[in-house]
Structure 1
């Protein structure tokens, strides 16, 4: 009888694991699609530290379950507000026709930057957000580099995950630190990118981090994530840990810096007060 009970319990555990594997996209609370101007935004989670993250998807676009699950999981485990705007306005990379024409249109930086500024303004007004980070996959990784170069007063950091078309010329413009995550099939991050950043801005370079998953293929975290592959799942788990640790480290450094600045400002005010007396 005891043996039978143990078998039933063991079978239930196995069944639970099988169900979890099949329902990978139901594991975390889902967000909602809301309208902002002329495009949609996927919004999930709430911030307990006035921090929001804008996610920039890859060329597969807005409606990919694996990319949304990344947002859901980070929002749930990091207690942060995540928004993913539909930069492509309902389109995605064409399966036929001219990819280069489509890519040139959606990659127009003036359009992308305008969308990012509009979303950032909305976050500041609607959620009292005072810190915004940006995370991008593949095509989005390049947009993150540009955001941390040209919109550095809006974003305090960026994270590129298997970013595409990253060049030394682009990263030389960085004004905010970044975390670069690559797959084994991606161009190497070091020393190609790291040397370029070091040569152009040694202060930013010291805060940048790099991690490559040699056994993974391009797209393994987002659109091409395979949740039936244990190695892929393990790599995704580690990416989430790496992202959270990086953000923790950076936000703590910012908090310390602000505290020091406040302390010196207080000393100056006291000194000025005594001079006035």
Structure 2
């Protein structure tokens, strides 16, 4: 992990959902629809970060879906105030934190939650930001479960830890939200995505954001006009994607 995974801004607003247990896992839940569900997989700031909950509220309101933000860090969260205090970042033991929240540790939890939600909802989508970007590809991969993908479509915003093999395995409609400046979703990975994902035979929407940086879609500066336009465009793009591949599939 690097500073790009911590830098950003905390947004104003009061989340409208509630905290509960879903399949023995802590979740923020917003909206109430038995048909369509969306799993939002958080960034380094975790499931309690106000920005991720405000995004979940937005998806629930715009799509009429039930939106889940699960805790995939085992109850540990970074204090949201640290986002505006870079001088404190050196105190974080991020290597140890990420070892405790590796793919091998959290991947099975994510898949278990998706399997459980499939028993409650007919259509399921997943969107991941930064840390959560690799996870949605695993949920939407052909090898995700015995019967293939565990969700019906995915969106990944400036993913971290995403590997070529995960992109090559994707088997559901996939959207990528890609800023120009991103040390985690590198130029090499962007080129691979543009070349290889279309070969998978699934609908593919590549959204490119010139001038913007890693983290903008979940931690963008609301006081900066360009970042505000970019993060709002990213929100609209995700809503449009889920509307097409989840909501339009109700019938």
TM-score (norm 2): 0.78
- Secondary structure, counterpart of 1:82 in structure 2: strand
Q: CA deviation at 1:190?
A: 4.2
Question: Aligned pair 1:108/2:103, yes or no?
Answer: yes
1:123 to 117, 124, 128: 117
Name the structure where helix makes up a greater proportion of residues. 1
Q: CA deviation at 1:113?
A: 3.5
Q: Which residue of 1 aligns with 2:29?
A: 43
Q: What 5-or-longer segments of structure 1 have no aligned partner?
A: 1-21, 260-277
Q: Which residue of 2 aligns with 1:133?
A: 125
Question: Aligned pair 1:232/2:242, yes or no?
Answer: no
Q: What 5-or-longer segments of structure 2 have no aligned partner?
A: 1-9, 79-88
- Secondary structure, counterpart of 2:211 in structure 1: coil
User: How has the CA–CA distance of structure 1 residues 25 and 36 changed in structure 2, closer, same or farther, with 3 Å as cutoff?
Assistant: same
Q: CA deviation at 1:164?
A: 1.3
CA contact (8 A) 1:46 1:79 kept: yes
Q: CA deviation at 1:115?
A: 2.1
Q: CA deviation at 1:97?
A: 5.6
Q: Which residue of 1 aligns with 2:41?
A: 56
Moved over 6 A (4+): none
Question: Aligned pair 1:250/2:245, yes or no?
Answer: yes
Q: Which residue of 1 aligns with 2:13?
A: 25
Q: Distance in 2 between matches of 1:172 and 1:121?
A: 22
The two structures, once aligned, show a CA RMSD in angstroms of 2.6
Q: Highest relative contact order (Cα 8 Å, sep 6+), 1 or 2?
A: 2
Q: CA deviation at 1:198?
A: 3.5
Q: CA deviation at 1:173?
A: 1.4
Q: Which moved more, 1:183-192 or 1:212-221?
A: 183-192
CA contact (8 A) 1:62 1:90 kept: no
User: How has the CA–CA distance of structure 1 residues 169 and 120 changed in structure 2, closer, same or farther, with 3 Å as cutoff?
Assistant: closer
Question: Aligned pair 1:146/2:138, yes or no?
Answer: yes
For this pair of structures, how many residues does the alignment match? 224
Name the structure where strand makes up a greater proportion of residues. 2
- Secondary structure, counterpart of 2:69 in structure 1: strand
